[in-house]
Amino acid sequence: MLTPQDAQARCQALIERARRAGADAGDAVYLASASESVSVRLGALEDVERSESEHVGLRVFVGGASASIGSSDLADAALDELATRAVAMARAAPVDRFAGLADESLLARGPFPDLDLDDPEEPSPQALRQMAQEAEDAARAVPGVTNSEGGSASSGRGVVALATSHGFAGAYAATSRSLSASVIAGEGGALQRDHGWRSARFGADLASPDVIGREAGTRAVARLNPGRVKSGTMPVVFDPRVGGSLVGHLLGAISGASIARRSSFLLGKDGAQIFDSGVTISDDPLRPRGLRSRPFDGEGLATAPRKLIDAGRLTGWLMDSAAARQLDAAPTGHASRGGGGAPHVTAGNVVLEPGTLSPAALIADIADGVYVTELIGSGVNGVTGDYSRGAAGFRIVNGAIAGPIAEFTVAGNLLAMFAALVPADDLVIERGIDVPTLRIDGMSVAGD
């Protein structure tokens, strides 16, 4: 893996090759990662894995047409061939009037903010094994846990670099640390499985193995002997670990590409009140140590915090340059790059801000409802907003969490669900999309 500085220089050298080969413009991206994971099961070492990857992608523009190509070979001769082939492909491609680099005047200028994404303390394989072992031991110690799928700890580091033919160059490194445990509770045919998991940029920011393990065990035992719920219309409360998926559907619907294709249920809703005025959703790609933090986007534009939903009102679309041209607007610094192809839209660290009620107060007036801890399947129509997903969780009876339930479906329409959404005050920042406990009244629940 190259250093960020060497990766940036390699991207710039590839752009120079493309220009010499006949490209009018272009950009090059370098993506590399190395990771190591250790898994244990029932107290014994189960698996040790190490993976490394390194890739460079080149996108060129010739006469209004574009082509993308990539390679894992970074030798000079390979980059020469890559540039030549990319230009030849672009000359044979159709013209796309919306494709192109970002406007030069919008490019981010260094020095870029230091977001503290690179943990210098890399854990050894022995340390990873000990963490995984401690997490599994804590999970297996919970009364009612009868078997284990194991504990796992991993460590990784990646480097991203980007250079464009019109003056942008930047690079950064970021690390990741994760820890999990998954166990089984019950006997015979009455088994239930659940897990605990955390991920962070720095190992020091992870919850302890004991906390993660006990969480896994407690969750699995709580799911034992699930009942069924009767069908009807009732309040549905989403646990924070599944509630973030609702915000994920929002992000897909406000992507400029979806709006340009007219394939979003929020088409025509720019500036509209789609949530209650007590709901605010923010995006902060500059949060130090954030899981989705980055100093610049996939087109070389500066990233910046913004409110996606401000007091319930939609503030606009997330756009890369191609979508912005289609919509006669400006890109928003949300472009992201893979190893090949054109940029796509990705949000930063997204947070649905907490409300004023505790989770207990949020459900206190629910006579009959459901608390969802797991969602199954992907029955969501991004064009109409129709929502239907399998679920598992717990009944809510007379304002309190009652017994576990399984094999039911929650359904509605995202527009109506957003309008009825009420957040609790228990927000914890630990994922890329973070939400507190969420309540939505009037959803359809299909069970017995």
Rounded mean pLDDT, 46-59: 96
Read off the DSSP letter of residue 12: H
CATH number for the domain harbouring residue 94: 3.30.2290.10
Say what angle helices 125-140 and 209-222 make with each other, to 10 degrees.
30
Count of C-beta atoms within a 10 Å radius of residue 342: 20
Name residue 140's amino acid.
R
Mind giving me the DSSP string for 105-158? Answer: GGB--SSPP------S-PPPHHHHHHHHHHHHHHHHTSTTEEEEEEEEEEEEEE
| Residue position matching structure tokens 């608390």 | 371
The pLDDT of residue 189 is above 90: no
Mean pLDDT of 63-78: 94
Domain boundary among the residues 159, 194, 221 is at 221
Whether residues 300 and 283 share a domain: the answer is yes
**Structural domain ending residue among the three candidates 221, 254, 269:** 221
Same domain, 398 and 414: yes
Single-letter residue type at 167? G
The whole-angstrom separation of Cα 235 and Cα 370 is: 7
pTM, entire model: 0.94
Average pLDDT, stretch 317-335? 96
CB within 8 A of 432, min separation 6: which ones?
290, 291, 292, 349, 350
Which residue has 């054109």 as its token pair?
342
pLDDT of the residue at 125: 96
Report whether pLDDT(263) > 90: yes
Q: Are residues 45 and 187 in the same domain?
A: yes
Residues 198 and 274 in one domain: no
Residue 148's CB is within 10 A of a number of other CB atoms, namely: 23
Average the pLDDT over 347-352 and give the result. Answer: 98
If asked whether residues 194 and 234 sit together in one domain, one would say no
| One domain, residues 45 and 68 | yes
Q: Looking at the structure, tell me whether residues 280 and 193 fall in a common domain.
A: no
Asked if residues 171 and 160 have their Cβ atoms less than 8 Å apart, the reply is yes
Residues 237 and 189 in one domain: no
Whether 332 and 351 share a structural domain: yes
C-alpha dihedral (343, 106, 434, 410), degrees to nearest 10: -50
- Residue 341, pLDDT above cutoff 90: no
- Same domain for 295 and 425, yes or no, is yes
221, 242, 270 — which closes off a domain? 221
Residue whose token pair is 């929002």: 250
Task: Please give the mean pLDDT across all residues of the chain.
Answer: 96
426: which residues sit within 8 A by CB, 6+ positions away? 240, 354, 358, 359, 436, 437
Cβ 212 vs Cβ 181: under 8 Å:
yes
Domain count, the chain: 2
In which band, very low, low, confident or very high, does the pLDDT at 28 lie, cut at 50, 70 and 90? very high
The residue type at 366: I
Task: Let me know whether 159 and 183 are in one domain.
Answer: yes
Q: With a cut of 90, say whether residue 338 has pLDDT above it.
A: no
End-to-end CA distance of the chain: 55
Residue 188: predicted pLDDT:
87
Measure Cα distances from 297 to 303, 304, 321, 434 in Å. 6, 10, 11, 21
Q: Do 296 and 409 fall within a single domain?
A: yes
Domain region containing 241: 226-448
DSSP symbol at 255: B
Tell me the percentage of the chain whose pLDDT exceeds 90.
97
